[in-house]
């Protein structure tokens, strides 16, 4: 369902072919339907909770704007795919949702709180190949890292932490590799271990940065399965990816990004040839009207 | 006669303490690839110690304060974008050492000679030095034990640590300060140049022998202690410099571990190759 407001008309500098209204207008919807400030902990039932709310958010490193006017909402149990070319700002948006990069205009709210205050309920899955494969750490130790914030300072993992870590590892199908060194696993398996680490943290919002890059079919299947289990438990998921097919498969919503937001809404409505061509600035080829190939430059 | 009255006994105890501390701290130094930074730290501590000697204040205090300035500087540089961390560290290394030499050479009639600061003199450590080393060792090991899992996450996955809400800058500062304390406590025994041997060698050796983090700490500490004690014994028997003997032993043990590991690996690799052929 399209609980999103369309982006405001783009400012100067937007490519002329950018569609100003990529999403069916539904501006009256979300703000009216949900409370802005009440956290979900109070348990008060409401029409629909919001996990992630972005309101015309602009994000910048210092003086350099990276993303402008990002606008959309993610509900519990929903997944949104961030799609756009390299350097479009997908990773930056994930960092902003983590509160690691400042929002200079507009705002981003996670579970009714500022991103920095919501980190306990948010788990982040980095790209496996950004981590040192020589690091002397075992698979089970990596998964246990997901429990560190719940364990707290100066304390050691308890029985509940070990159980949670073991279950998380089982969910990604790597129980038998628990004692292996992290770096000895394949890229796809390492990515699954990192997802297990996030699952062990029992997040309400899961952020994955390019989780399917260089991942074999078996691991891709295991990742998708585990993500859908998390969604079934009411967690929201944000996945940055190049893979339109996976976006279709795993996500209800799609956010097209290339410095500006070129669309945010249900996959079938947003993944149109027009929107993709606009997002990729001419690097998208249309095949027979309804299929699109995106060429990475 | 008191056990501590013997220079030999004091030297042995000092060597065991700095060996154990260097080994444990070294596991983090190696895991975070801080070897070069630690080398700069040892050399930058040197002018601090010289200044303290000239002013007649505690040497460890002088070295410690100077080293903390370096730590703060490196953390700040590390946060800036586009800064060449390695280059800045290299400049600090040479500059710090040069400053120490200039200060010493400008001082005529200065009692302690340069070599005592550069390669150390473990046989002259007194009871106060020992007590200081023991206290620093306790503080460093306790702090590492308390912050262990957070430091581990920060070392393994910097972005993940920040994403989990850990105060990463404070953690970095804490780790560098611990390395600095270990350096300052080790410098009187091994000197500014040789201290690096105990802070990197045992941990690097342990890393060659095991992939398991939990084993690395006791293994590195044991290697450090063994090299320290054996080095003192060799220096007594062969009448050679104690600090250099320790550093040489550390190097030799590392070389043996490297050969052992190669030996273990080669058969596997050759079968894999023949299979591929």
**Tens-digit pLDDT profile for residues A111-134:** 999 999 999 999 999 999 999 999
The tens digit of pLDDT for each residue in A224-270 reads: 999 999 999 999 999 999 888 888 888 999 999 999 999 999 988 88
Average pLDDT on B152-171 reads 92
| 3-class secondary structure, A293 | strand
pLDDT at A295: 60
Distance between CA atoms of residues A23 and A77, nearest Å: 21
Average pLDDT on B99-116 reads 73
With an 8 Å Cβ cutoff, are A136 and B160 in contact? no
pLDDT at A10: 45
- By the 8 A CB rule, do A174 and A202 touch? no
Nearest CB to B160: which of A126, A136, A151?
A: A126
Residue B200 pLDDT more than 50?
yes
Residue A3 pLDDT more than 70?
no
Distance between CA atoms of residues B189 and B138, nearest Å: 18
Q: Taking CB atoms and an 8 Å cutoff, what residues of chain B touch A136?
A: 31, 207, 210-213, 216
Closest of A143, A149, A141 to residue A122, by C-alpha: A149
pLDDT at B154: 94
Residue A277 pLDDT more than 90?
no
Residue with tokens 């698979």: A139
Nearest CB to A120: which of B146, B149, B165?
A: B165
Instruction: Give phi and psi for A21, each to the nearest 5.
Output: -125, 80
Distance between CA atoms of residues B65 and B67, nearest Å: 5
What pLDDT band is residue B113 in, cutting at 50, 70 and 90? low
pLDDT at B3: 85
Residue A82 pLDDT more than 90?
yes
pLDDT, greater one: A100 or A281: A100
Record the tokens describing residue B109, joined without a space: 């009639």
Q: Tell me, yes or no, whether A38 lies in a domain.
A: no
Q: Taking CB atoms and an 8 Å cutoff, what residues of chain B touch A123?
A: 163
Q: Taking CB atoms and an 8 Å cutoff, what residues of chain A touch B204?
A: none
The tens digit of pLDDT for each residue in B33-81 reads: 888 888 888 888 888 888 887 888 887 788 888 888 877 777 677 665 5
Residue with tokens 């273990």: B264
Q: Tell me, yes or no, whether A282 lies in a domain.
A: yes
Nearest CB to B163: which of A124, A135, A141?
A: A124
Give the distance, in angstroms, between the CA of residue B125 and the centroid of all CA atoms in the same chain. Answer: 18
Q: What are the residues facing A263 on neighbouring strands?
A: A256
pLDDT, greater one: B273 or A295: A295
Q: What percent of chain A has pLDDT over 90?
A: 65
With an 8 Å Cβ cutoff, are B212 and A130 in contact? no
Distance between CA atoms of residues A233 and B171, nearest Å: 34
* Distance set, CA A69 to CA A12, A46, B104 (Å): 13, 28, 61
Nearest CB to B153: which of A123, A145, A207?
A: A145
* Distance set, CA A117 to CA A26, A44, A98, A155 (Å): 29, 20, 9, 22
Q: Taking CB atoms and an 8 Å cutoff, what residues of chain A touch B207?
A: 136
Order of strands, edge to edge, in the sheet holding A253-258? A103-110, A52-61, A64-74, A260-266, A253-258, A79-83, A236-241, A205-209, A122-125
Average pLDDT on B17-22 reads 97
We report the CATH number of the domain holding residue A232 as 3.40.50.300
Residue B267 pLDDT more than 80?
no
Partner A contacted by B102 (CB < 8 A): no
- By the 8 A CB rule, do A19 and A278 touch? yes
- By the 8 A CB rule, do A196 and A145 touch? no
Q: Which fold is adopted by the domain B3-263?
A: ABC transporter involved in vitamin B12 uptake, BtuC (1.10.3470)
Nearest CB to A141: which of B162, B164, B213?
A: B213
| 3-class secondary structure, B220 | helix
Distance between CA atoms of residues A197 and A192, nearest Å: 9
| 3-class secondary structure, A285 | strand
Residue with tokens 């220079």: B7
Q: Taking CB atoms and an 8 Å cutoff, what residues of chain A touch B216?
A: 136
What pLDDT band is residue B125 in, cutting at 50, 70 and 90? confident
Q: For chain A, what is the domain count? A: 1
Average pLDDT on A13-20 reads 44
DSSP classification of residue A214 = T
With an 8 Å Cβ cutoff, are B159 and A124 in contact? yes
Supply the DSSP string of A71-120, one letter for each residue.
Answer: EEEE-TT-EEEEE--TTSSHHHHHHHHTTSS-EEEEEEEETTB-GGGGGG
What pLDDT band is residue B152 in, cutting at 50, 70 and 90? very high
B162, closest residue in chain A (CA to CA): A100
With an 8 Å Cβ cutoff, are B165 and A148 in contact? no
Average pLDDT on B102-123 reads 74
The tens digit of pLDDT for each residue in A19-64 reads: 444 444 444 434 433 444 444 445 444 556 899 999 999 999 888 8
Distance between CA atoms of residues A198 and B181, nearest Å: 35
pLDDT at A7: 44
With an 8 Å Cβ cutoff, are B159 and A137 in contact? no
Q: Work out the minimum CA distance from B187 to partner chain A, whole angstroms.
A: 29
Q: Work out the minimum CA distance from A278 to partner chain B, whole angstroms.
A: 32
The tens digit of pLDDT for each residue in A170-201 reads: 999 999 999 999 999 999 999 999 999 999 99
Average pLDDT on B72-97 reads 71
Distance between CA atoms of residues A54 and A96, nearest Å: 10
Give the distance, in angstroms, between the CA of residue A114 and the centroid of all CA atoms in the same chain. Answer: 17
Give the distance, in angstroms, between the CA of residue B82 and the centroid of all CA atoms in the same chain. Answer: 28
pLDDT at B80: 57
Q: Tell me, yes or no, whether A13 lies in a domain.
A: no
Q: Tell me, yes or no, whether A39 lies in a domain.
A: no
Q: Taking CB atoms and an 8 Å cutoff, what residues of chain B touch A165?
A: none
pLDDT at B76: 73
Tell me whether 0.90 is exceeded by the ipTM: no
Distance between CA atoms of residues B165 and B185, nearest Å: 33
What pLDDT band is residue A151 in, cutting at 50, 70 and 90? very high
Average pLDDT on B98-121 reads 75
pLDDT at B201: 96
Closest of A118, A100, A96, A117 to residue A108, by C-alpha: A96
């Amino acid at each position: 369902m399209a609980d999103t407001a369309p982006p405001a008309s783009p400012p100067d500098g937007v490519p002329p072919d950018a569609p100003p209204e990529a999403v069916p207008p539904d501006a009256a919807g979300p703000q009216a339907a949900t409370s802005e400030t009440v956290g979900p902990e109070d348990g008060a039932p409401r029409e629909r909770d919001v996990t992630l709310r972005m309101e015309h958010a602009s994000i910048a490193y210092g003086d350099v704007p990276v993303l402008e006017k990002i606008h959309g909402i993610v509900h519990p149990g929903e997944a949104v795919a961030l799609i756009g070319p390299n350097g479009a700002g997908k990773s930056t948006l994930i960092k902003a949702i983590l509160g690691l990069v400042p929002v200079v205009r507009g705002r981003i709210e996670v579970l009714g709180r500022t991103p920095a205050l919501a980190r306990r309920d948010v788990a982040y899955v980095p790209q496996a190949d950004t981590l040192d494969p020589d690091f002397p750490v075992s698979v089970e130790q990596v998964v246990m890292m997901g429990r560190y914030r719940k364990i707290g300072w100066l304390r050691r993992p308890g029985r509940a932490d070990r159980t949670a870590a073991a279950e998380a590892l089982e969910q990604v199908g790597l129980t038998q590799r628990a004692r292996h060194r992290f770096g000895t696993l394949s890229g796809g398996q390492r990515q699954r271990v990192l997802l297990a680490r996030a699952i062990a943290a029992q997040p309400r919002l899961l952020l994955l940065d390019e989780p399917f890059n260089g991942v074999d079919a078996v691991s891709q299947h295991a990742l998708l399965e585990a993500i859908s289990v998390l969604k079934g438990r009411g967690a929201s998921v944000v996945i940055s990816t190049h893979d339109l097919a996976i976006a279709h498969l795993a996500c209800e919503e799609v956010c097209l990004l290339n410095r500006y937001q070129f669309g945010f809404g249900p996959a079938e409505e947003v993944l149109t040839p027009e929107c993709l061509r606009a997002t990729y600035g001419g690097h998208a080829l249309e095949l027979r009207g309804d299929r699109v190939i995106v060429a990475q430059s | 006669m008191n056990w501590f009255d013997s220079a030999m006994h004091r030297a042995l105890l000092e060597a065991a303490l700095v060996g154990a501390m260097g080994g444990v701290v070294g596991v983090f130094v190696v895991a975070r690839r801080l070897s070069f930074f630690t080398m700069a730290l040892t050399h930058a501590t040197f002018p601090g110690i010289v200044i303290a000697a000239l002013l007649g204040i505690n040497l460890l205090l002088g070295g410690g304060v100077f080293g903390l300035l370096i730590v703060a500087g490196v953390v700040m540089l590390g946060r800036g974008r586009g800064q060449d961390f390695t280059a800045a560290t290299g400049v600090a290394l040479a500059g710090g050492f040069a400053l120490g030499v200039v200060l010493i050479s400008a001082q005529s009639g200065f009692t302690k000679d340069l070599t005592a600061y550069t390669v150390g003199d473990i046989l002259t450590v007194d009871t106060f030095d020992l007590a200081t080393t023991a206290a620093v060792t306790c503080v460093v090991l306790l702090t590492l034990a308390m912050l262990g899992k957070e430091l581990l996450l920060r070392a393994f996955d910097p972005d993940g640590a920040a994403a989990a809400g850990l105060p990463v800058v404070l953690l970095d500062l804490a780790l560098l300060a611990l390395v600095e304390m270990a350096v300052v406590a080790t410098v009187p025994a091994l000197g500014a140049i040789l201290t690096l041997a105990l802070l990197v060698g045992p941990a690097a050796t342990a890393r060659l022998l095991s992939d398991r983090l939990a084993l690395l700490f006791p293994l590195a500490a044991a290697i450090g202690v063994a090299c320290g004690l054996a080095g003192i014994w060799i220096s007594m028997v062969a009448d050679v410099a104690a600090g250099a003997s320790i550093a040489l032993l550390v190097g030799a043990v590392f070389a043996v571990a490297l050969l052992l590991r190669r030996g273990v690996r080669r058969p596997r690799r050759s079968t894999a190759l023949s299979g591929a052929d």
